[in-house]
Amino acid sequence: MSNKQASFYQSVGRSFDKAAALTKHPKGLLDQIKVCNSVYQMNFPVKIGNSYQVIEAYRVQHSHHRQPTKGGIRFSHLVNQEEVMALASLMTYKCALVDVPFGGAKGGVKVSPRKYTPEQLERITRRYTVELIRKGFIGPGLDVPAPDYGTGAREMAWIVDTYQQMKNGELDSIACVTGKPVAQNGIRGRTEATGRGVFYGLREMLSYDDDCKRMGVEPGIEGKTMVIQGLGNVGYYTGTISIKEGAVKVIGVSEIEGTIVKEDGIDLVKLFKFRKDTGSILGFPGSKTLKVREDWVGIECDILVPAALESQIHKGNAKQVKARIIAEAANGPVTADAEAILLKKGVTIIPDMYLNAGGVTVSYFEWLKNLSHVRYGRIQKRFDQNAFSNIVGLVEKFTGKTVGAKERDFLTRGADEVDLVRSGLEETMITAYAQIRETFRRKKKVEDLRTAAFITAIDKVASDYMTLGVFP
């Protein structure tokens, strides 16, 4: 091993090659699957205060085997072309894995959101959108962005508004971006979707006794201890949902300002509010602050959840890891070099392309909702409610017993949009894990879940290419 760290893009490439070598697809097809199909780098001026700033930005479409392409937009001062290419590549495999019929894409704008006012961010976002429109890099059937690191529903609202101003009358224009506010044709359950998917993925994996034995943990998610890096969208919802629905104990949180631990469990809702009020997680009542922020990696716990940025666990700190499971909520948080060390130590890594696929899954539901121009549940909810009510009525008649008001409400309730979204997400995470698991068990030379996930995804993309007739 050389001392130079593998870049994020190189790490993704190495994982792809390791998996591709275990498939029987022709080299030309594998080469085509691996490369980025279109890379668009742009520089545009935006007025900030009294002067103009040149903003560097990207949109990468990794694979056109399915259209539209899909992937988030990242706002960060660390954005660079290779990073966006790596993220776009992961999107292709992620979509294939969870049967979301899109090619992969990703966008990046090289700005630190904290250094700009909301008005300035709006100007940057709108100008970026115009650049995408001009080059055909956005549209309901072309390329559909979503939130990622540093962006959220607010930015998506600016994007759709800009798009609609320029594409007046386009019937499906609202489907040009997902992750929109619910009031602007977004979907209930999208904000929490990635974190909720992480929870479903973890719970599913921990439900298999033999998988738990291999990982060296007791079966079941209940009572597991967790440490989270990054209390943003993905980290926050992964933590709060795991606590509420999985009885997990979050004992450590790392943020930009430092890392805190609290052995008896951290209330993340209170911590989030505390950070909002004070500007920091440090000093949270009952917690201890670690001397070195990066030492979150070595906290003793069952599940380590990196939910910030890529390359956070690298060959310099991988040996510190004491957790049995690393749950990749972020994209690319473990470098290829670190992975080699961790696998030797017997640590199980649940790969990003599976574990954080909840976001794109629910984005797909949002896109479908926008194309059908009707809210989920609107048509059948009342019908279901009446049908269930009739069944309960019949049971009461035949048994001579009456169901209590609370039970009746529970039994006769029709599904709302959020219920259907959660159900679709849960089903997706369970099915995708079963497929990865099957590849892992079936292929003798597959030693880790990332390779199993890559093989599963590559097989699906290869099959698409062959169906398209591009590769006979």
- Binding of ligand NAD by 231 (CB under 6 A): yes
CB of 392 to ligand NAD, least distance (A): 39
- Binding of ligand NAD by 250 (CB under 6 A): no
Of the pair 79, 133, the CB lying nearest ligand NAD is at 79
Pull the structure tokens for residue 132. 């995408």
The Cα–Cα gap between 196 and 96 comes to 20
Is there a contact between 287 and 262 (Cβ–Cβ < 8 Å)? yes
Residue 340: closest CA among 182, 450, 457 = 450
Chain-centre distance for alpha carbon 250: 20
* Range 21-80, binding ligand NAD (CB under 6 A): none
Of the pair 20, 338, the CB lying nearest ligand NAD is at 338
Among 254, 287, 435, 451, binds ligand NAD (CB under 6 A): 254
CB of 230 to ligand NAD, least distance (A): 3
> Minimal CB distance to ligand NAD: which residue?
232
* Range 187-226, binding ligand NAD (CB under 6 A): 194
- Binding of ligand NAD by 145 (CB under 6 A): no
CA angle 199, 436, 350 (to 5 degrees): 45
Catalytic residue from among 18, 70, 94, 106: 106
Among 71, 201, 230, 246, binds ligand NAD (CB under 6 A): 230
CB of 94 to ligand NAD, least distance (A): 8
β-pair type (325-327, 348-350): parallel
- With CB under 6 A as the contact rule, which of the stretches 142-150, 420-428, 429-437, 455-463 interacts with ligand NAD? 142-150
Which parts of 167-192 fold into alpha helices (H)?
none
Of the pair 61, 254, the CB lying nearest ligand NAD is at 254
- Output the CA torsion sign for 84, 87, 89, 92: negative
Cα-based distances in Å from 268 to 143, 227, 228, 260, 414? 35, 12, 10, 12, 31
Among 92, 185, 225, 229, binds ligand NAD (CB under 6 A): 229
- Binding of ligand NAD by 109 (CB under 6 A): no
* Range 318-347, binding ligand NAD (CB under 6 A): 329-331
CA angle 211, 216, 220 (to 5 degrees): 60
The Cα–Cα gap between 426 and 406 comes to 26
Q: What residues does 109 pair with on adjacent strands?
A: 57, 75
DSSP 405: H
Of the pair 341, 353, the CB lying nearest ligand NAD is at 353
Catalytic annotation present for 106: yes
Of the pair 155, 211, the CB lying nearest ligand NAD is at 155
Q: Which residues contact 300 (CB under 8 A, 6 or more apart)?
A: 322, 323
Residue 157: closest CA among 125, 111, 114 = 125
CB of 50 to ligand NAD, least distance (A): 29
Among 9, 149, 274, 367, binds ligand NAD (CB under 6 A): 149
Give the contact letters, 273-312, x = binds to ligand NAD (CB under 6 A), - = no: ----------------------------------xxx---
Among 181, 219, 220, 232, binds ligand NAD (CB under 6 A): 232
Among 215, 234, 303, 461, binds ligand NAD (CB under 6 A): 234
Among 78, 166, 247, 256, binds ligand NAD (CB under 6 A): 256
CB of 368 to ligand NAD, least distance (A): 17
Among 63, 356, 361, 451, binds ligand NAD (CB under 6 A): 356
CB of 235 to ligand NAD, least distance (A): 6
Strand intervals (E) in 307-387: 325-327, 348-350
Q: How many residues does this entry show for the chain? A: 472
The footprint of ligand NAD on this chain (CB under 6 A) covers a number of residues equal to 23
**Cα distance between the two ends of the chain:** 39
Complete DSSP assignment for 366-378: HHHHHHHTS-TTT
Give the contact letters, 358-377, x = binds to ligand NAD (CB under 6 A), - = no: -x------------------
Please state, as a whole number, how many other Cβ atoms lie within 10 Å of the Cβ of residue 248: 25
DSSP 413: P
CB of 36 to ligand NAD, least distance (A): 17
CB of 366 to ligand NAD, least distance (A): 12
The Cα–Cα gap between 386 and 471 comes to 51
Complete DSSP assignment for 295-308: GGGG---SEEEE-S
Crossing angle of the two packed helices 81-97 and 8-20, in degrees rounded to 10: 40
- Binding of ligand NAD by 150 (CB under 6 A): yes
Contact set with ligand NAD (CB under 6 A): 147-150, 194, 229-235, 254-256, 307-309, 329-331, 356, 359
- Residues classed as catalytic: 106
